[in-house]
Amino acid sequence: MPGNLLYEEESRAVIGAAIEVHTILGPGFLESVYEAAMIEESKRRGISFQSQVRIPIMYKHTKLAAEFVADYVAFGKIIVEFKAIRAISEIEIAQLLNYLKATDLRVGLLFNFGSHGKLETRRLVV
């Protein structure tokens, strides 16, 4: 039943765009190629997004010199990370969880375009 997941419609839109990119390009390209293709596909589908979004890290109300850079933020509320690796591991999941922890955002999508077969996808909610 629709409406049970946080930002379900928005997540489906982004996942659909990623599936299309993977269908057209398949595995074998660098992460930057998939990111560029996702930007193009998002524009074609009317998905609102920002790419290479800087995420400040706060410590005791002080902004640290260190910061994260998210590949893509969809609809102003879903952090999206693109990978082109053999398989998603705990390292990539931890990276996305850290990005969510450093923001007020609650939903993250992790796409791995590098695995052979179908697109590898993880949806995280905090």
Residues 6+ apart with CB under 8 A from 49: 39, 42, 72, 73, 74, 75, 80
Whole-number mean pLDDT of the chain? 95
Q: Which residue has the higher pLDDT, 108 or 1?
A: 108
Rounded distance, CA 88 to CA 111, Å? 8
C-alpha span between 123 and 109 (Å, rounded): 5
pLDDT tens for each residue of 53-100: 999 999 999 999 999 999 999 999 999 999 999 999 999 999 999 999
> Span 1-21, mean pLDDT?
90
Is it the case that residue 2 has pLDDT exceeding 80?
Answer: no
Q: Which residue has the tokens 């996808």?
A: 121
Q: How confident is the model at residue 4 (pLDDT cuts 50, 70, 90)?
A: confident
CATH of 8-125, one of 3.30.300.30, 3.90.320.10, 3.30.450.20, 3.40.50.2300: 3.90.320.10
Q: Please report, for the chain, the start and end positions of each structural domain, with discontinuous segments joined by +.
A: 8-125
- Predicted TM-score (pTM) above 0.75: yes
